[in-house]
Amino acid sequence: MPRPSLPHPRQIAPHLVALWPGFLLACLVAAAARFLSEHYGAPAMLMALLIGMAFNFLADHPKTAAGLEATSTSLLRLGVALLGFRLSLADLSELGWRSFAVVVGLMVATILFGLALSPLLKRRWRFGLLTGGSVAICGASAALAISAILPKSKQLEQDALFTVVAVTALSTLAMIFYPALFTMLGMNDAEAGFMIGATVHDVAQVVGAGYSVSDTAGDVATMVKLQRVVMLPVVLLAVLLLSGRGGDGAGSLRLPGFVLGFLACFALNSLGLVPAALADLASSLSQWLLLIAIAALGVRTSLAALFALGPRHFALILSETVFLLVMALAAMTLLLP
pLDDT at 248: 42
Region 142-162: what's the mean pLDDT? 81
Question: Quick one: average pLDDT of 277-292?
Answer: 88
Amino acid in the structure at residue 217: A
Confidence of residue 307 (pLDDT cuts 50, 70, 90): low
Whole-number Cα distances in Å, 68 to 114, 135, 171, 222, 314? 31, 27, 27, 33, 27
Split at pLDDT 50, 70, 90, the class of 329 is very high
CA nearest neighbour of 141 among 220, 82, 193: 82
Q: Please indicate whether residue 42 or residue 60 has the higher confidence score (pLDDT).
A: 60
Q: Are 91 and 44 in contact (CB under 8 A)?
A: no
Nearest by Cα to 307 from 150, 141, 172, 166: 166
Q: To the nearest whole number, what is the mean pLDDT of the chain? A: 81
CA distances 87 to 146, 149, 265, Å, are 18, 21, 9
Q: Which of 42-46, 60-64, 139-143, 178-182 has the lowest mean pLDDT?
A: 42-46
pTM: 0.67
Q: Angle at which helices 311-334 and 97-120 pack, to 10 degrees? A: 150
Which has more pLDDT, 13 or 308?
A: 308
Which of 31-35, 72-76, 169-173, 174-178 has the highest mean predicted lDDT (pLDDT)? 31-35
- Residues recorded for the chain: 337
Q: Where are the alpha helices (DSSP H) in 41-150?
A: 44-54, 65-70, 76-82, 89-93, 97-120, 125-136, 140-149
Say what percent of the chain tops pLDDT 70.
Answer: 85
Asked whether 84 and 285 are in contact (CB, 8 A), the reply is: no
52 alpha-carbon distance from chain centroid: 18
Average pLDDT over residues 31-44: 86
- Residue 145 CA to chain centroid, in angstroms? 6
- Would the pLDDT of 167 be above 80? yes
Q: pLDDT band at 304, cuts 50/70/90?
A: low
pLDDT bracket for residue 1 (50, 70, 90):
very low
Residues whose CB is less than 8 angstroms from the CB of residue 317 and which lie 6 or more positions away in sequence, other chains included:
131, 134, 135, 163, 166, 167, 170
Residue-level pLDDT at 5: 45
Cβ proximity of 294 and 144 under 8 Å: yes
- Asked whether the predicted pLDDT for residue 49 surpasses 90, the reply is no
Banded model confidence at residue 85, pLDDT cuts 50, 70, 90: confident
- Residues in contact with 178: Cβ distance below 8 Å, sequence separation at least 6, in sequence order: 195, 196, 199, 200, 209
**What mean pLDDT comes out for the span 133-161?**
83
Range with top average pLDDT, 93-97, 171-175, 309-313: 171-175
* Mutual angle of helices 215-229 and 189-199, in 10-degree steps: 30
- Cβ atoms 293, 79 nearer than 8 A: yes
